[in-house]
Amino acid sequence: MRVKKQHGQHHRTVSAVVALGLGATGVLALATPASATPVDITCLTGMRNTAYTPSLTYTPQPTNLQITDNFSCTSLLSGVSSGSGTFSAYAPSSSCLASVQSPLTSITTTYHWNTGASSTIVFASSTAVRAANGTVTVTSVGTVTAGLGVGQAATRVTVEPNLDLAACLDGGLSETNSVVNSLVIAPV
């Protein structure tokens, strides 16, 4: 009889542990949405074209920017190998002069990946530094708010040289192309 009693106690103890484990698993499952699966998208090679309206001169003025990004990427978890996105931005005072503009307004960009998936990123913090030689370096930090990598951090760095300094004097600089354009999406 004693053995049966211990077996019964053991069975109740195991049942209680399993119930607690399932309860804890249920709590974890609720706290971690299925869409928050970590991805690792690293795009170190890319090209950006920025069109300025009105064209940049040496006189600071409000400027609208139309920007197109294209990337070559690597990703072990998602299969992403390339992506692109187009977005608009507004600079309240932009020119060919050396300057630092920070923070720029929040910018939302949706990147479309070769896999058919997309990632919408809100870049809440951006800084644009224009050197005396006309080169602009833009660093943006944000969060993926929808799609592939939702909830993860995103960092974008672009370097665009002004290869036509005379254009700033003669009608204005209407566009630049990058020599560096990178984007990294990774878990926080």
Q: Could you please report the per-residue DSSP string of 8-43?
A: HHHHHHHHHHHHHHHHHHHHHHHHS-GGG----EEE
Residue 4, SS3? Answer: helix
CATH class of 37-186: mainly beta
Sequence-distant (6+) residues with CB within 8 A of 119 are 41, 83, 110, 111, 113, 144, 146, 147, 148, 149, 150, 154, 185
Strand 41-56 to 61-74 pairing:
antiparallel
pTM for the model:
0.77
Question: First vs last Cα of the chain: how many Å apart?
Answer: 57
Q: Going residue by residue through the chain, which has 188 residues, state the pLDDT in tens, using 9 for 90 and above.
A: 444 444 444 333 333 333 333 333 333 333 334 445 678 999 999 999 999 999 999 999 999 999 999 999 999 889 999 999 999 988 888 899 888 887 677 899 999 999 999 999 999 998 889 898 889 999 999 999 999 999 999 999 999 998 788 899 889 999 999 999 999 999 98
| DSSP H or E run through 7 | helix 2-31
What does the angle CA 154 – CA 156 – CA 159 come to, to the nearest 5 degrees?
Answer: 175
